[in-house]
Amino acid sequence: MENEDFSSLSKKKLKKLIRETQEVLNQLKSELKLRKQEKRHKEIDHMEEHFEDAAHNLSNLKSFIQKVFSEMRKDK
C-alpha cells in the first residue's frame, strides 16, 4: 500500500479500508501481547532453576572468599 493513491476511493470504501486496517492492527497487537505473556510465563516456570543457580553461585563465591581470607591469614 506504500505510495498508493487513495483519492479515487469513495468515502464509504475509505472508511471500510480504515475499519479493516484497524481490525488487523488490533489482531497484531493482541498477538504481540500474547507472545509477551507467554514469554513471561516461561520465565516464571524457570524461576526456581534461576534461584537454584543463583544459590549455587553465591555458595561458590562464599567458598572463594573464605579461601582468600584463609590464605591471607596464613601469610601473616
In the DSSP assignment, the letter for residue 65 is H
User: Does the residue 4 lie in any domain?
Assistant: no
pLDDT at 10: 94
Q: Is residue 39 part of a domain?
A: yes
Residue 3 in domain: no
Number of domains in the chain: 1
d(CA 33, CA 51): 27
Any domain includes 46: yes
Eight-class DSSP state of 4: -
Domain containing 45: what range?
11-75
The residue to which cell 497484531 is assigned: 28
Q: Mind listing the pLDDT tens digit of every residue in the chain (76 residues)? A: 566 888 999 999 999 999 999 999 999 999 999 999 999 998 888 888 888 899 989 999 999 999 999 988 887 6
pLDDT at 2: 62
Angstrom distance (rounded) from CA 53 to CA 58: 9
Q: What is the pLDDT of residue 48?
A: 87
Instruction: Output the pLDDT for position 1.
Output: 54
Residue 6 located in a structural domain:
no
